[in-house]
Structure 1
């Protein structure tokens, strides 16, 4: 394919199947997330064993990793879907940064949910925040360069226009090549890696009891945003009847 040639959307049946597969995966994943929330709340009890907390923390982090792996699999089929994923509501997507939550959210959650940080912990978190913001800026610059180099419309606009155009094999009016597709895949992979590493490093700084509160806050927020998004969509459907 030439550098100015059309983008080839992944085989329509494969893309459709992949999107449906992730939607189905997400339903089960969120159900498990709700069960994890119950466990996290129970683990805040004073009589909870330390080893039980550590085991729960590891299982919660592994659960997030499962989502990233499934998301990566779909990204190899149709990267545009990850920038405007139809399995999330518009309200949920409003919180997204490069196909997912901004890593900086972890620091806000810690600030809101943990009030017994030691001086050493506070210093470590401040240092981590500076590191993460530098990496965020680098990724933002990467995304801007991708768009500028090919004179492409904003990535979110491309995603909305073509992420779900699964009934055609070729979209003729988008000047984007396989190299750009690979760069977008790398961009999402690096953003997901930053999200995961931010959480992992935060967990290393916090104690087990603090981690339980941190993960409880993160899980509650995610499920709350999901609930609000679905409620908004139901209200829209009711008003259009």
Structure 2
């Protein structure tokens, strides 16, 4: 039996609105965290290390919350996180597999943390090399999936949708495509979160404050610029 297009559109709209509502609240909390990061960084020499670590943990948990909510809507329809209607075209210009590249973390560290030790520099280099290998593998996998869309049987079935059984075949093929793309997005998000966690393991608490401040400033700036360009 074919799906009701109107019902599907309504469910999609509800899911998009739910994510947009979550995102609005998340962005407000992000701005509050930026204020706290800046304030703590300015007085970090007066703070206990456990207090610095507590803030770092809370900021990382805040980002994890975003990925969990993103995973929920990706499980509903992975194409939504690729099109990201809640983002401006400027924001999407920074995207790689429905989000920023994991190696952005290394550029932010390079620009914001000036006091890396020799050991930290070497560990960052190794981590960056490993991350870039995984990025290439995921990029190749996504390219393989995208190429399959233009190849039989999907293309041929799409041309012959007059018969009901062939429509069902197209739906089945599209569901398989969604599943494959969903796996790639999940693995890309896992690489993003794992890379950030490993970077923070290398850095000291004060260095982490600098890194997380730079990351949050970057994301907010991109969001603001994108909003201005959309006016």
- TM tier, smaller: 0.7 to 0.9
* 8 A Cα contact 1:150 1:176, kept in partner: no
Aligned residue for 2:191, secondary structure, equals helix
Q: What is the CA distance between 1:177 and its match in structure 2?
A: 2.4
Q: What is the CA distance between 1:215 and its match in structure 2?
A: 0.1
Asked whether 1:218 is paired with 2:211, we answer no
Q: CA-to-partner distance for each residue in 1:52-86, whole Å, 9 max, x for gaps?
A: 11000000010011100111110111111111111
Q: What is the CA distance between 1:180 and its match in structure 2?
A: 1.2
Q: CA-to-partner distance for each residue in 1:156-184, whole Å, 9 max, x for gaps?
A: xxxxxxxxxxxxxx9x9999422111011
What do you get for the CA RMSD once the two structures are aligned? 2.2
2:179 aligned partner: 182
- Aligned equivalents of 1:13, 1:132: Cα separation in 2: 39
1:38 aligned partner: 35
Q: Which protein has the bigger helix share? A: 2
Gaps of 5+ in 2: 152-166
Asked whether 1:138 is paired with 2:137, we answer yes
- Aligned equivalents of 2:11, 2:58: Cα separation in 1: 31
2:127 aligned partner: 128
Q: Does the C-alpha gap of structure 1 residues 105 and 140 become closer, same or farther in structure 2, counting only changes over 3 Å?
A: same
Larger radius of gyration: 2
1:54 aligned partner: 53
Picking from 196, 199, 209, the partner of 1:199 is 196
Taking structure 2 as the reference length, what is the TM-score of the superposition?
Answer: 0.86
- Aligned equivalents of 1:204, 1:176: Cα separation in 2: 42
1:156 aligned partner: none
* 8 A Cα contact 1:9 1:78, kept in partner: no
Aligned residue for 1:43, secondary structure, equals helix
- Aligned equivalents of 2:16, 2:85: Cα separation in 1: 8
Taking structure 1 as the reference length, what is the TM-score of the superposition?
Answer: 0.83
Asked whether 1:233 is paired with 2:230, we answer yes
